[in-house]
Amino acid sequence: MVTSLAFRLTKRFGAKIVLDDLALEVRGREFVTFLGPSGCGKSTALNLLAGLLPPTAGEIRLDGVRIDGLPPERRGFGMVFQNYALFPHLTVGANVAFGLAVRGLAKAELAPRVRRMLELVRLAGLEDRYPGQLSGGQQQRVAIARALAVEPRLLLLDEPLSNLDAKLRLEMRGEIKRLHAELGLTSIYVTHDQTEALSLSDRIVVLRDGRVVQAGPPAEIHDRPRTLFVADFMGYRNAFPVTVSSAEGDTVVGHARDVTLRGLGVVALAPGTAAVAVVRPEDVEVAPEPAGANVVRGTVRFTEYLGREHGVEVVLGTGQTLMARLPRPVTVGSALALRLPPERVVILPAEDGAR
Ligand SMILES: Nc1ncnc2c1ncn2[C@@H]1O[C@H](COP(=O)(O)OP(=O)(O)O)[C@@H](O)[C@H]1O
Ligand SMILES: [Mg+2]
């Protein structure tokens, strides 16, 4: 059982810095997710932790002991990949037993352990099948069973749900969450999908160009993004350039040509600073009055039916587009006043700070 993992890693491929002194501490039983766009270094980070790639510089400590000199099989980690990476010529049972055999577990102990692992991932009785005879979802369960069979000190998962269809993805997400809790695992999970990160994690680490841009519990990343990059990634699709009029405690007021917007300030902003007010389409409401605090007016340009709600694009007087999700339909061409609830607006520095 791990009580803590701490690492600090730099990785270069030629002149390209892929991980730039990426440092983190993970507690035992924690579920940490690396969230970021394609190419930000997520897989590279996992591969360094697993020992599949050597770091350019840095160290990895497990319960205070350096392990970055150890080969993968001596780190005692389990790894699950996006493409399952099962051995096609081995049976399901042999795939699950693979890591155990490598570690020299006695033959008599193998079969019961394999059986238990397959029960755990709800594939009891499929020992003798071959991966090619299984669905994608079943293959990923086998890959998870294989990773768990070694009783990993750390479970590393690299976009394990990306190749599954939407329904299976939801189901497997639940399974991963259940196994993590039931077995008391310590897990690092990699994804570019914000919903997966929110639903699974104790802590989300948002990466950009191989660096941490924000780390915190899911609700903090979701409700209090600290940069435009994180906000954009977390679905704040509406962004209005404003100038900061005042900032007091958590509340920032910004103004543009014909609107004043009140919102949450999560980083310090001095009056006069160029800032951006961001808000999610699903947080925008129809205004009860045509004017008032945080109310903007415009003309409906586009609508789409989304089942529970209606997607709406409104062109504001400034020429900017505002996207909203509204409970009732509106007519293209009609005038509409929308309210951006101050508790749902975040006002951020216009410059990201990051490169
Ligand atoms: N073996 C390699 N040689 C050169 N560049 C690589 C290699 N592996 C990854 N990269 C580069 O490192 C960056 C990060 O890749 P990766 O860790 O796979 O990102 P992610 O998993 O976040 O999509 C990318 O720009 C990628 O092209
Ligand atoms: Mg990747």
For residue 252, pLDDT beyond 80: yes
Q: Encode pLDDT of 236-251 as tens digits.
A: 999 999 999 999 989 9
Q: What CATH number labels 229-349?
A: 2.40.50.140
Q: Which residues contact 13 (CB under 8 A, 6 or more apart)?
A: none
> For residue 156, how far is its CA from the centre of ligand 2 (angstroms)?
12
CB within 5 A of ion ligand 2: which residues? 43
- Look at the alpha carbons of 120, 121, 126, 130 in this order and tell me if their dihedral is positive or negative: negative
At residue 164, the pLDDT reads 86
At residue 292, the pLDDT reads 85
Domains in the chain: boundaries: 4-228, 229-349
Q: What CATH number labels 4-228?
A: 3.40.50.300
Atom in ligand 1 nearest the alpha carbon of residue 210: 14
Q: Which residues line ligand 1 (CB under 6 A)?
A: 13, 18, 36, 38-44
Are the C-beta atoms of 168 and 136 separated by less than 8 Å? Answer: yes
CA-wise closest residue to 46 among 135, 156, 202: 156
C-alpha distances out from residue 339 to 156, 251, 322, 332, Å: 43, 17, 11, 19
Atom in ligand 1 nearest the alpha carbon of residue 53: 1
Q: Encode pLDDT of 203-214 as tens digits.
A: 999 999 999 999
The ligand that comes nearest to the alpha carbon of residue 45 is 1
pTM recorded for the entire structure? 0.93
